[in-house]
Amino acid sequence: MPRCPTVLVLLLALVAVAGAVAEPRLIELAIRNGRLPEDRRVVRVRQGDEVTLRWTSDRAVTLHLHGYDIEEQLTPGTPVAMRFTARATGRFPIEIHDASGAERTIGYLEVHPR
Amino acid sequence: MTARRHGTALGVWGLLALAPRPALAHGFGQRYDLPIPLWLWVTAAAAAVALSFAIIGLFVTANPGPRGSWRVNLLRFRSGRLLADGRTRFAARAVSVALLGLILVSSLLGNQSPTRNIAPTAVWVAWWVGFAYLSALAGNLWAVINPWSAIFDRGTALLGLRRPPSRYPAWLGAWPAVALFAAFAWIELIFTGRAIPAQLGLLIVGYSLLTWTGMLLFGRGTWLRHGDPFAAAFGVLARFAPTEVRVTDRDACRRCALACRRPDGACLDCGECFDRASPSRREWNLRPFGTGLLDTGAVSPSMVVFVVLLLSTVTFDGFTATPAWSRLERSLYAALAPLGDARLTAIGTLGLVVFPLTFLLVYLLFARWMAWAADDRLSTGTVARLFVLSLVPIAIAYHLAHYFTYLLIQGQLLIRLASDPLGLGWNLFGTARYRPDIGIVGARFAWYTAVIVIVLGHVIAVYVAHVVALREFRDRRAALRSQLPMLGLMVGYTAVSLWIIAQPIVETT
C-alpha cells in the first residue's frame, strides 16, 4: 500500500488545519433594563473566529463595540447582529448609551490568542 | 456595514467622550490589553526572585567595581558629531517650538472633540508617554528640545536680560517640582477635563506663565533643576538611559551656577556647561543602562519624595484600572452620597493622596530596616537617599510594559490627526481617513514583552542597589545584610507591577 503514508500525511494536515481554522461563534446577548446578565458581561472568543453577536434589548439604545468600532441602534423586539472576524486580540469594551445621552460600559469582548 | 458606519461612529463617540468619564485613566485614550495569564505571572515572579538571589550569589564572590563601567564617546564619530552639532540642536528646538505652537492653536481654536483635535493625543500619548520611553531608553532629549527653554533663551536675549533678580532659596530644594508634579498627576489621572482641547490649552498657557516666571526670577537652569516637574521627571528617567552628556572642562564646570559638578571635577547632563566648554572637552557617551542611577551624590530629601511620587503615580495609574479599585470605588461611592457629582473625583483624589504617601511610608520603613540591618552606621535618611534611584528601573519596566500596546495603538491616531490637526475637515497629507490597526501586536507578543521587560528591570534594580550598597557600606557583610530588606521591597514592588498587568482592565461606571 504505497499510498498509505500520503493519505496519513493528508489526514494529519487536515487535523492540524481544522485545529487552527476559524470557528463560527454565535453569541446571544439580551440587554434588560440597560444591563447584560451577570454571566454574559465578558464574551470570550478566540482569535480568527467568525463572531456574530446577536443583540436584543427591551428598550431603544445605541451599542458601540470599541476597537472593532462597530455601532448599532437597537429597538425593542428587533434583534440586531454584529458580524466580524476576531482578527485582533485584546479586551474591548462594549458601551451603551440611551436617549438621555448617558454612556456606560455594559460588558467586554475578549479575543484570546490561539 | 462596519466601514460605512465608521465615519459617523468616530464623530459621535468623539463628541460623547466630552462627557466626564473618570474611569478613563492615564490622560486620554483607550487600552485594549488582555491580562497576562496566571501561569505567566507565576513564572515571571519566580524568575524575579530566583534571579535576585543569583545576583546576590555573584556579589558574594566578585567585586563589581562600580567605577569601571565602560563609556564610548559618540562625538568621536562623524554621525555623532553631526547629531550633537549646534545647528542640529537648533533645528530640533525650532521644530519643538513649532509643535508647541500648533498644539496651543489647535487646542484653543480647533474642534473640541478629543479624538478629532491633535492636542489631547499629542500631549498625553506622544509627549507624556512617548517622552518617558525616549528618556529611559535613549537619553535626556527633553533637556535639549524643551520649547519653553528655547523660547525663554530667545526672549531674554532679545530683551537683553542677563542676571536673574533673585537667589533661589536653598531650603526650597526640589519641593516646587514635587508640588507641581503632584498637581500634574492629579490632572493626568483624575481631572475630567484633561482630554478636552480648550481645557488642555488653558493648562498649557498656565504652565508656560509659571515656567517663564520661575526662569525669570531664578534663572533658567536653576528653575529647571528645582521647580520644573517635567525636567525633573524626564531627568530621573534619563538616568537609566544608555547615553550621558559629560563635560571634562574643569573651568567651565567651576563657573557653572548650577551644582552639577561631580567629585572628579567633571559635570554630567548639564546643558549650560556643555555650551560653555571647549569642544575637545565635551563628551556624549554611550554607557550601560542604569549607570546614571549609581550617581547618588545630588539626591536631596525633596528628590527622594519626587522619585517616590513619580513611581507611585505610574503604579496608581495601572491600579485604577483594576477590578480591585473598581470595587473600592463602588463601596466608597455609596458612602459619599452627600458629595453628589463630585464623588468620583473625590475618591480618585483621595486615592492619589493615600497611594504615594503609603509608598513613601513603606519605603522609609524599609530604609530604616536596611540601616538597622547594616549596623546603623548610616541614618535612615541617608539610606533613603542612597537607594531611592535603584527603584527607578522597576518603575521604568512597569511603565514600558503597561503602555506598550497603548502607545502602538493610540499613537497611530497621530497619522490621522497630522492631516487634520484642528479637526476642521482638512486632509493635508491624505491620511485623514486612516484607521488605527488594533491588531498591530498580538496579545502573546505583548505578554512576553511585558514580562521580560519587568523581570529585566527588576534585575537591573537589584544590581544597582548592590553596587551602591558595596560602595557606601564599605564592609561587605554590612552591605549584604542591608540588601536583604531591599530585595524584599523590590520583589514586592515587581510582584505588584506583574499583578496589575494580570488584572483585566475595567472601566467603572
Q: Where are the beta strands (DSSP E) in chain A?
A: 24-31, 42-46, 50-57, 61-65, 70-74, 80-85, 90-97, 103-112
pLDDT of residue B1: 32
Query: Cβ–Cβ of B2/A113 closer than 8 Å?
Result: no
Lowest mean pLDDT among A47-51, B251-255, B427-431: B251-255
* pLDDT of B19 higher than 80: no
pLDDT of residue A3: 54
Nearest to B466 by CA among B68, B69, B52: B52
Cell of B61: 564572590
Nearest to A25 by CA among A85, A110, A108, A89: A85
Q: How many CB pairs under 8 A join A and B?
A: 72
Amino acid at B122: A
Query: Cβ–Cβ of A67/B438 closer than 8 Å?
Result: yes
Amino acid at B435: R
pLDDT of residue B249: 84
Query: Cβ–Cβ of B35/A88 closer than 8 Å?
Result: no
Stronger pLDDT, A71 or A19, i.e. the higher one: A71
Do residues B476 and B436 touch, judged by C-beta distance below 8 A? no
> How distant is the Cα of B19 from the closest Cα of chain A, in angstroms?
8
Partner residue facing B438 (CB), from A70, A90, A93: A90
What's the rounded Cα separation, in Å, for the pair B441 and B405? Answer: 7
Whole-number average pLDDT of chain B: 89
Residues in chain A closer than 8 A to B413 (CB atoms): none
pLDDT-based confidence at residue B30 (cuts at 50, 70, 90): confident
Query: Cβ–Cβ of A69/B16 closer than 8 Å?
Result: no
> How distant is the Cα of B108 from the closest Cα of chain A, in angstroms?
25
What's the rounded Cα separation, in Å, for the pair A52 and A80? Answer: 10
Lowest mean pLDDT among A31-40, A46-55, B257-266, B296-305: B257-266
pLDDT-based confidence at residue B54 (cuts at 50, 70, 90): confident
DSSP string, B401-454: HHHHHHHHHHTTHHHHHHHSTTSSS--SSS-TT----TTSS-HHHHHHHHHHHH
Residues in chain B closer than 8 A to A91 (CB atoms): 32-35, 504-505
Q: What is the mean pLDDT of residues B99-126?
A: 96
Query: Cβ–Cβ of B2/A47 closer than 8 Å?
Result: no
Nearest to A78 by CA among A7, A114, A30, A37: A30
pLDDT in tens, B404-440: 999 999 999 999 999 999 999 999 999 999 999 999 9
Entry pTM: 0.89
Nearest to B140 by CA among B314, B32, B271: B271
Q: What is the mean pLDDT of residues B150-162?
A: 92
pLDDT of residue B487: 93
Pick the most confident of A22-31, A92-101, B235-244.
Answer: B235-244
Partner residue facing B9 (CB), from A64, A88, A97: A64
Query: Cβ–Cβ of B13/A101 closer than 8 Å?
Result: no
* pLDDT of B162 higher than 90: no
Domain boundaries, chain A: 22-112
Phi–psi pair at B114, nearest 5 degrees: -55, -30
Query: Cβ–Cβ of A90/B33 closer than 8 Å?
Result: yes
> How distant is the Cα of B437 from the closest Cα of chain A, in angstroms?
9
Interface test with B, best of A71, A82, A97, A104 (most B CBs within 10 A): A71
Partner residue facing B32 (CB), from A90, A112, A113: A90
Lowest mean pLDDT among B48-57, B171-180, B223-232, B367-376: B48-57
In this prediction the ipTM stands at 0.82
Residue of B nearest to A44 (CA): B34
Residue of B nearest to A102 (CA): B19
DSSP string, B335-391: HTGGGGGGHHHHHHHHHHHHHHHHHHHHHHHHHHHHHHHTTT-S-HHHHHHHHGGGG
pLDDT of residue B296: 85
> How distant is the Cα of A1 from the closest Cα of chain B, in angstroms?
44
> How distant is the Cα of B3 from the closest Cα of chain A, in angstroms?
9
Which residues of A lie closer than 8 Å to B, measured between beta carbons?
A: 42, 47, 64, 66-71, 83-84, 87-93, 97, 101-105, 108, 110-113
Partner residue facing B6 (CB), from A69, A97, A111: A69
> How distant is the Cα of A65 from the closest Cα of chain B, in angstroms?
10
Residues in chain A closer than 8 A to B439 (CB atoms): 87-89
Query: Cβ–Cβ of B2/A103 closer than 8 Å?
Result: no
* pLDDT of B12 higher than 80: no
Q: Is B341 exposed, middle or buried (0-12, 13-18, 19+ CB in 10 A)?
A: exposed
Nearest to B112 by CA among B189, B206, B19, B27: B19
pLDDT of residue B339: 86
pLDDT-based confidence at residue B473 (cuts at 50, 70, 90): confident
Cα dihedral across residues B462, B465, B468, B469: positive or negative: negative
Residue of A nearest to B508 (CA): A105
Nearest to A32 by CA among A82, A76, A71, A66: A76
* pLDDT-above-90 percentage for chain B: 71
Residues in chain A closer than 8 A to B23 (CB atoms): 105
B242: left (phi > 0), else alpha (psi -120 to 50), else beta?
A: alpha
Residues in chain A closer than 8 A to B9 (CB atoms): 64, 69-71
pLDDT-based confidence at residue B195 (cuts at 50, 70, 90): very high
* pLDDT of B503 higher than 80: yes
The dotted CATH code for A22-112 is: 2.60.40.420
Partner residue facing A103 (CB), from B6, B16, B437: B16
Nearest to A71 by CA among B6, B16, B14, B17: B6
Query: Cβ–Cβ of A71/B444 closer than 8 Å?
Result: no
